[in-house]
Amino acid sequence: MALPKEYAEAGCSLARSLEVLGERWTLLIVRDAFYGVRRFGDFAEHLRIPRAVLTDRLRGLVDQGVLAKVAVPGSGYAEYELTRKGRQLWPIVNGLIRWGDEHYAAGGAPRLFEHAADRGRIGADSRCSRGGELVEAGSVEAVPGPGLVPEEAEDEMSVALLQPHRLLEPLR
């Protein structure tokens, strides 16, 4: 029997947030959207997620206004990009990544985040170590960290994600 998607504590903001983001794969899709993944096939290949599950999660994120499905002119396909509402999740996603780095990354952080303006490290609180300001995702660059284990990437998106790149910029 499948678990319900709704929580009994409907008046609780955390419970309501989990109704949108709490299903398996959903936060990984949002994380990859911050990293610049945009195409359905790229999400599927990089995450190795069943296509039916990906379709369901993307539909839910679009319905909730976290992602927008945008037609690519002249191509016949669409891409997914974070909306303003979705981009507001950056401090949460970054905090979870940093928490995982601290508690579960044996060899150190596989990926570090730097403020593109001054190369200061972005902490778990999404603040720049140099200037102390809160840094929006679009001003963050992901760079390989000391715990990055360059596995033999089987897909182009995994290879692209191993390279330094600005968050929110589409990877190709």
Q: Where are the domains of the chain?
A: 13-83, 87-166
Q: Are 67 and 61 in contact (CB under 8 A)?
A: yes
Per-residue confidence (pLDDT) for residue 151, from 0 to 100: 67
The average pLDDT across 59-71 equals: 97
For the purposes of burial, counting CB atoms within 10 Å of the CB of 167, is it exposed (0-12), middle (13-18) or buried (19 or more)? buried
Map tokens 């206004």 to a residue. Answer: 65
Q: Is CATH 1.10.10.10 the right assignment for the domain spanning 13-83?
A: yes
Q: Are 80 and 58 in contact (CB under 8 A)?
A: yes
**Average pLDDT over the chain, rounded to whole?**
90
CB atoms within 10 A of CB 23: 16
The average pLDDT across 89-111 equals: 90
Q: Can you give the pTM of this predicted structure? A: 0.90
